[in-house]
Amino acid sequence: MTERSNPPSDEAVGAALRGLAADAPATLLPATLLAIGLADAWAPLDSPIGRLFVAFNGRGVSRVALATDDASFESAFAGAFGRPIRRADRLPERLGRALERRLAGDRRARVPVDLRGATPFQRAVWEKALEIPRGEVRPYGWVAAEIGRPGAVRAVGSALGHNPVPLVVPCHRVVRSDGRIGDYALGSERKRAVLQAEGLDLERLEGLARAGVHFLGSDTTRIFCLPTCGQARRIQPAHEVRFRSRLEARAAGYRPCRRCRPGEEPDRISSGLGPLG
């Protein structure tokens, strides 16, 4: 019969395990916190309006701001979000490529965003802004009507003004209901620059607004659109019909475009909105 050996004592097992112990890398904790969204990193990114600082974590992009000095950006971020943040050498490769594609106008580029803390209303507004195509704009009242809150134009403006990821969520594509471009979290001149870079004819849009024209129709299709709608841009000058209001277009026998879904009457929407995003 084979003699059974005695199992090692608890002390021996403990000693063996202590011998296997090793200090965790100093980078492990920061990397873990970043991955689960309890901390953020940031890196610079060039854009059509200059260099941006882009903050991110494992959940997605959490903040986009015009480049300032490092300390100011980190201090403002920590104050707004209550999380630690550090500079990274660069954006993660996949995220960086997606951001570059999105800023170049590719709406198919998937850019994850971390919008913790946003209200359901803010999310609805930001998600609707994402639907506006490059080179087109929509009035604040359009956004309000589209999300089922036609009386909440001021609240829409406030939500866009608090958009933490401008350019990723294109709040610059939302303008005043009277046709003026309006203010922007990154500055009104930068808003104009981005819209022009996206192919918007600001001179024509503002000229129509000064003339009180808010909708364009085609006398061949009997459809009316918002002025920057892709369908409106296809209307030949000889067939273009201008309308001051949706009621006027309806009375003339025109139906609304299914693509841009022209919304509330401009003269029924307050334009005294103050600073907007």
Exposed/middle/buried for residue 108 (C-beta within 10 Å: 0-12, 13-18, 19+): exposed
What's the pLDDT score for residue 182? 86
Identity at 274, one-letter amino acid code: G
Pairwise CA distance, residues 256 & 249, whole Å: 8
Domains, the chain, in order of start with CATH, read 32-103 (3.30.160.70), 118-200 (1.10.10.10), 212-267 (3.40.10.10)
Angle between helices 188-197 and 202-210 (to 10 degrees): 120
**Alpha helices per DSSP H over 92-139:** 93-103, 120-129
pLDDT at site 220: 97
| List 171, 225, 257, 260, catalytic entry | 171
- C-alpha 221: how far from chain center: 34
The predicted structure's pLDDT at residue 226: 96
Tokens 């000889």 -> residue: 238
Retrieve residue 209's tokens.
Answer: 């607004």
Distance CA 112, CA 169 (A): 11
Is 171 considered catalytic here?
A: yes
Give me the tens of pLDDT residue by residue for the chain, a chain 277 residues long: 555 666 667 676 566 656 655 555 656 777 899 999 999 999 999 988 899 999 999 999 999 999 999 999 999 999 999 999 999 999 999 999 999 998 888 888 899 999 999 999 999 999 999 999 999 999 999 999 999 999 999 999 999 999 999 999 999 999 998 888 888 888 899 999 999 999 999 999 999 999 999 999 999 999 999 999 999 999 999 999 999 999 999 999 999 999 999 965 444 433 333 222 3
Query: In whole angstroms, how far apart are CA 65 and each of 115, 163, 167, 251, 264?
Result: 15, 11, 10, 46, 32
Task: Please give the span between the terminal C-alpha atoms of the chain, in angstroms, as a whole number.
Answer: 85
**Global pTM?**
0.82
